[in-house]
Chains A and B, each alone.
Chain A
């Protein structure tokens, strides 16, 4: 078994062997942080250092200006989630972390799509936009910019629908989320 102190060569399979309990599902972490210098760097750095991949990340103000909310999503099949949250809790500027239950959570993402749409295709694209309750926010003779909000899955579905028409580019915010019901997230 490879350790730097033995001369056995290490196989790639051994390198890939990992430990920890994985949940297998997508996790949305809602992290309430103090508005202090370096908070985002600390969180991003922690993830990088421990080898955790962030799928999406959204940061913004909350109702209290002393705090910001960071919403990030990660794949529980890739990382032991309890280690992620315990390590985050050790950061002094982190006030609260919620690992949001998908069924107890409202999550939304905003995405902008620039699509080539001239000739007959334009009508078809506009129909898709209608179905997804998107908004056309910029029009030229050869292109449209479409705004879509919704769950991650809905954005993915919309992307699949418009890609064949000629997707020039896409920008996404990453999900933000809040728990259902009266209690605070």
Chain B
């Protein structure tokens, strides 16, 4: 016999969990008591939202399931944003929330919130524990659900009295989820059809998303792309799924993607989508998206196929499985590479005519794009780059090259400001071998700054680079471009003093304002041990280009 919470610890160990993020409170006191002897590393965050995003960063960087603990009521509502974020970006996460004791349920007890109800639309699945003996099975089923199929967040809500109960714990060897059988093996006939379509296409584009990274299929994607001269583009979430830079790499597509990638999609006769979901930030105006193309759509989630764009050849399955077999089929057909010559001529034309670029300053002023380039050179690209949300995120996606998967950690679907610092912290814990660098904005960074204390306390050496323009830059850009430059509540002023704040948290603070020494200064900041905050003053009003204006078609890119 053991307490149910001790059984939770046993289950976590059986699932291979060695580190979790969390925050204690009244309704999870038994759980925290169990942590004392469990031998599992617990990172005490400074806000539950930080815990949730840290678990996301950990999952994205390591490929393992991230785990977060929070108490009832406000603890649980504070992880609503990370759960939604994980749902939108298919991040494997298991969240344990405390709940008031069962006789208080539904009475508006102290720190009671209907966590199960509140989180229902934002989780892959959830468990409301009704009896302590259900707990071990729920934990294993939660991990199974979080990591298999299309990954996502799973929540277990545990009333505090049930967690204290003694149960006869037996290791659980199986899961019983009759309603959950994700299809991982792609249909052979469909794969053959897709290979033929690809072999016959004269203007094909491979469009890869975050699913390739979730499936650990970057190598398989590279195999397919390089088995011929197939042009490839990635979504924001897919960056790193194909090693950039590369001669067949068109850059990111979508609202702030390259003209080459977007024009290629626009003129393609065949688009092979893998692990991507035709998000509105990718398609622009849906009715004018890739008007000449037929679509092959590979996804593990059947509900994504034909949701936004009807697929001619749908393939439900795991990207790794499907890509391997597709490449074999494609090679067997021995397609003539010569058929792509005219297409490449067209693509090279766009590349030459519309390279990514910006007007650099003539003096010491630091352009934000220059900062990203300098950061790439200072790190040699050899880091896990996390970002927050906004202009800096798009510039990072454009100017930083990701040669490997799980090296780019950002919030795509939900676009959560405040994601960056905790995520970079989680990434550092998940993959301590590779330096963890956060590129953030002065707006985003103020949304979860408190985690600097966690970094300091737990010796998590995150290097924070603030692209500081004193504006909510992306909103300012839209107000400038589409709302007659009527700036409304986007000027953030000049506070706080980031160097002093960093020092208050026991981190190293540096302010950089000179372009001419930027690369060297960044390198030395990154080489400084422990957490570092680098406040880089950049051009205040600079727009992220190129851009597909809202609701416009890809070929109407501006800037």
Contacts and interface: CB of A to CB of B under 8 A. Distances in A.
Interface of A: 1-7, 19, 33-34, 37-38, 41-42, 45-46, 49, 82-83, 86-87, 89-95
Contacts of A2: 551
A23 B497 CA distance: 60
A61 B12 CA distance: 35
Given A1-B285, A1-B551, A34 B303 contact: no
6 contacts: A37-B128, A45-B121, A86-B302, A90-B301, A92-B125, A92-B145
A86 to B, nearest CB: 4
Contacts of B103: none
A146 B400 CA distance: 74
A159 B116 CA distance: 41
Nearest to B477: A5
A86 B302 CA distance: 7
A92 B482 contact: no
A7 B116 contact: no
Contacts, number: 57
Contacts of A1: 285, 550-551
- The interface size bin for chain B is 20 to 34
Nearest to B303: A86
A3 B125 CA distance: 31
B334 interface: no
Contacts of A89: 302-303
Contact of B484 (A5, A7, A49): A7
Given A4-B550, A19-B286, 11 more contacts: A1-B285, A1-B550, A5-B550, A7-B484, A33-B179, A34-B179, A37-B116, A38-B128, A42-B120, A92-B124, A94-B179
Nearest to A34: B179
Interface of B: 116-117, 120-121, 124-126, 128, 130, 145, 177-180, 285-286, 301-303, 306-307, 478, 482-484, 549-551
A37 B478 CA distance: 45
A35 B482 CA distance: 52
- Give 9 closest A-B pairs by Cβ, nearest first: A1-B551, A3-B550, A86-B303, A5-B550, A92-B125, A95-B179, A92-B180, A3-B551, A6-B482
Given A45-B120, A92-B145, A7 B483 contact: yes
A92 B179 contact: yes
A5 B179 contact: no
B120 A38 contact: yes
B130 A91 contact: no
A46 to B, nearest CB: 8
A45 to B, nearest CB: 6
B482 A5 contact: yes
B179 A87 contact: no
A87 B177 contact: no
A7 B302 CA distance: 36
A5 to B, nearest CB: 4
Contacts of A37: 116, 128, 130
Contacts of B301: 90
Given A3-B550, A6-B550, A92-B145, A34 B120 contact: no
Contacts of B124: 92
B183 to A, nearest CB: 11
B302 A38 contact: no
